[in-house]
Chains A and B, each alone.
Chain A
Amino acid sequence: MKIKAKMKGDIVNVKAMAKHDMTTYDQAAKKTGDRENANFITRITASVGGKLVYEVSTSQFLSKNPIFKFQFKGAASGDTIEMTWVDRKGNTVSDKAEIK
């Protein structure tokens, strides 16, 4: 996962990209004949100092290699932002970045 986090005033601007095919049920059915082969990110979270600042449950309709842009307050430059996603098959990827 690529994460960029930057302070602007007292607001943190975050841009993150997860590498994932985000296969929909239709695409899975077409390519493999079984819609149950669909796999996509179902949940992604971001936290700073153990406190959640971003949390979203997602469906198959996010784009391939989805980009998540968001803002939050209550952090300072130098803090570490930690993001985690989990997909339908249970794979999990976590990554960290320093807020600049």
Chain B
Amino acid sequence: MQRRKFLSLSGLAVAAAALAPSANAEDFRKTKPTVWTAHTVDDAVSAMYGTTAMTESGVTVTMPDVAANGGAVPVNIKSDIAAKSVALFQNANPESAVAAFTIHDNSIINYDLKIKLKSDGTPITVTAVVEGKDGKLYSGVKTLTVALGGCEG
């Protein structure tokens, strides 16, 4: 009995150890450094995924229509697509990329962040790109204006 218990316990330990470094863990700042220096959404998306071909469906980006403070604009990204990764871009700041999420087995795509958006009074477009497990790209877009800029600090 003792031995059996020991074996089953060690079996569990091995399984847990094998799971620990998740198969698709990725630090996008190290693996895709050019994403973070790209100045346009198109450049950043192609640096990230190698293409800019995407379907605008299945991804919801929720933000206020007019943000009062560009230093902290709330963003919510939601999607039910079975995905490998999700990335967020905007066209207001000097560089385009904001964040890139890796999707794990237990992840739910319902992310809230607060981001900085530089304002010059013109409408800003925020784009969320979801990389599906089917290899295709899906996007959600939100256009908004910001009353007070966030990058001047």
| Cβ < 8 Å to A, chain B residues 19-47 | 19-20, 22, 25-29, 36
Given contacts A24-B153, A64-B72, contact A72 B29 (CB under 8 A): no
Nearest-neighbor residue (CB-CB) of B117 within chain A: A61
Binds A, one of B57-65, B108-116, B127-135: B108-116
Total contacts A-B at CB 8 Å: 117
Rounded to whole angstroms, the CA-CA distance of A2 and B90 in the bound complex is 28
Main secondary structure of the interface of A (DSSP, over half): strand
**29 A-B residue pairs with CB within 8 Å:** A23-B153, A24-B93, A25-B94, A26-B152, A27-B153, A51-B19, A51-B104, A52-B104, A53-B106, A53-B107, A54-B104, A55-B101, A55-B102, A56-B99, A56-B100, A56-B101, A56-B102, A57-B100, A58-B100, A60-B95, A61-B90, A61-B98, A61-B115, A61-B116, A62-B115, A63-B116, A66-B113, A68-B113, A70-B107
- Complex interface: chain A residues within 8 A of B95 (CB): 59-61
A31 to B151 CA separation, bound complex (whole angstroms): 12
Known: A50-B20, A51-B106, A64-B72. A69 touches B98 (CB 8 A): no
Say yes or no: A62 contacts B22, CB within 8 Å.
no
Contact surface of B with A, Cβ cutoff 8 Å: 16, 19-20, 22, 25-29, 36, 71-73, 90, 93-95, 97-102, 104-108, 110-117, 150-153
**CA–CA, A57 to B151, complex, Å?**
20
